[in-house]
Structure 1
Amino acid sequence: MNMPTKLRPATEQFSGGRVIILGVAASDCHAVANKLIEYELSACGFTVINLGACTSVDEFMNAFQSHPDAAAIVIGSLNGHAYEDLKAIRDAKNNLLISCPVIVGGNLGVTRDQAAQTREKLLALGVDYVLDDVAELILLLHQLPRRNPFIANSE
């Protein structure tokens, strides 16, 4: 029996190097949480394309066009302006310039009511998931189906 020469952690085996596009919304310069999320995703076996802070929808769109096999686009926002920053997501998804799930998380409002309103507005824009806790991210990414970019773009 041949034994593998290098055992990989179970999370890496499950993630299989799937690509995640990561960034922080356009008007937001908070970079620390972004780097911590990048490290966690990488440790779980994902390939992370980190666009950094102050990332526009166009930059996310261009990254997806360069990586059409991306499992998801993950966008953080800590300044409460996610809705304004992400208004162009609707057009990008409607025109299939982004056809993978879009996940947004962070501090979406000063109050709970404001955060809940922003959550609903983001979902109406075409954001697929709005997370309240970064701990939910890895579980969600593991639950997403593997994508075939050739099928996804021809739908």
Structure 2
Amino acid sequence: MMELNALKDFIVTGKLEEAKQVVNAAISDGVDAQYIINGYLIKGMEEIGRRFEEGKAFVPNLLLSARAMKGCLEILKPLLKDASGASLGTLVIGTVKGDLHDIGKNLVASMLEGCGFEVINLGVDISDSQFVEAVQQYNPQIVCLSALLTTTMNYMQNVIDALKEAGLRDRVKVLVGGAPVNEDFARRIGADGYSSNANGAVVLAKKVLGVC
């Protein structure tokens, strides 16, 4: 179990190969996949998130941790197919139409996935109709909208309006984020929440679903 105890630190420090070795060894020893996720992987992501909030870690550190977490989840996911309650909820995330930036969006997606959400990452330059189709197809609890440009952030309003027109707005919580976005803007367009960073997005998603 001493080796498994190192898993959290490997996630925090972003050591992908070392983390994968521990996960594989734990599986061979019969350790439950969900126990590995809840007890070590999520704890590691929460720790790097706290360090980021405190200014003790930076975006490259978060990206490395998210990469290590994703690598471990790829090993564990096949073992969770029949597990009940393995996911905190489903969410759709994408960068809005006209905007091709995805580093921040991908970081948020990785953090959310690492902390227990099923994430449908639509990519970049996503239209309002594509978001509507994704909600109809995947039935998520949350839609996350990202924008890095002041010229594209207003398109978030289009997405929210399209969800209303399709009769889907009451079914999902809409969370927004990105460099030009702020709390006032989120309220003005009728979003359910705003976060300025990946760790905050995880906290917010849990809060709006009541799974804090």
What's 2:173 paired with? 101
Any idea what the Cα deviations from partners look like across 1:85-132, whole Å, max 9, x if unmatched?
532412422542332011110122xxxxxx55xx54543332211223
Deviation at 1:66, TM superposition (A): 0.8
Which residue among 83, 104, 107 is the counterpart of 1:36? 107
What's 1:135 paired with? 199
TM-score (norm 2): 0.54
Q: Is the 8 A contact 1:90 1:125 kept in 2?
A: no
SS at 1:53 equivalent = strand
Which one has a bigger Cα radius of gyration?
2
Unaligned segments of structure 1, at least 5 residues: 109-114, 147-155
What is the alpha-carbon distance in structure 2 between the residues aligned to residue 66 and residue 136 of structure 1? 27
For residues 134 and 90 of structure 1, do their structure 2 counterparts lie closer, same or farther at Cα, with a shift above 3 Å needed?
A: same
Q: 91-100 or 57-66, which moves further after superposition?
A: 91-100
**Does residue 1:9 correspond to 2:81, yes or no?**
no
Q: Is the 8 A contact 1:101 1:128 kept in 2?
A: yes
SS at 2:145 equivalent = strand
Letter in 1 for 2:193: Y
SS at 1:86 equivalent = helix
Q: CA RMSD in A?
A: 2.8
TM-score (norm 1): 0.72
For residues 133 and 14 of structure 1, do their structure 2 counterparts lie closer, same or farther at Cα, with a shift above 3 Å needed?
A: farther
Q: Is the 8 A contact 2:147 2:153 kept in 1?
A: yes
Letter in 1 for 2:98: S
Q: 45-54 or 94-103, which moves further after superposition?
A: 94-103
Higher relative contact order (CA 8 A, sep 6+): 1
Moved over 6 A (4+): 12-15
SS at 1:87 equivalent = helix
Deviation at 1:26, TM superposition (A): 0.7
Deviation at 1:42, TM superposition (A): 1.6
What is the alpha-carbon distance in structure 2 between the residues aligned to residue 139 and residue 84 of structure 1? 25
What's 2:133 paired with? 62
Deviation at 1:30, TM superposition (A): 0.3
What is the alpha-carbon distance in structure 1 between the residues aligned to residue 199 and residue 114 of structure 2? 14
Which residue among 91, 94, 99 is the counterpart of 1:23? 94
**Does residue 1:46 correspond to 2:110, yes or no?**
no
What is the alpha-carbon distance in structure 2 between the residues aligned to residue 101 and residue 137 of structure 1? 13
Letter in 1 for 2:127: S
Any idea what the Cα deviations from partners look like across 1:2-35, whole Å, max 9, x if unmatched?
x973314335998725211010011110022222
What is the alpha-carbon distance in structure 2 between the residues aligned to residue 38 and residue 140 of structure 1? 13
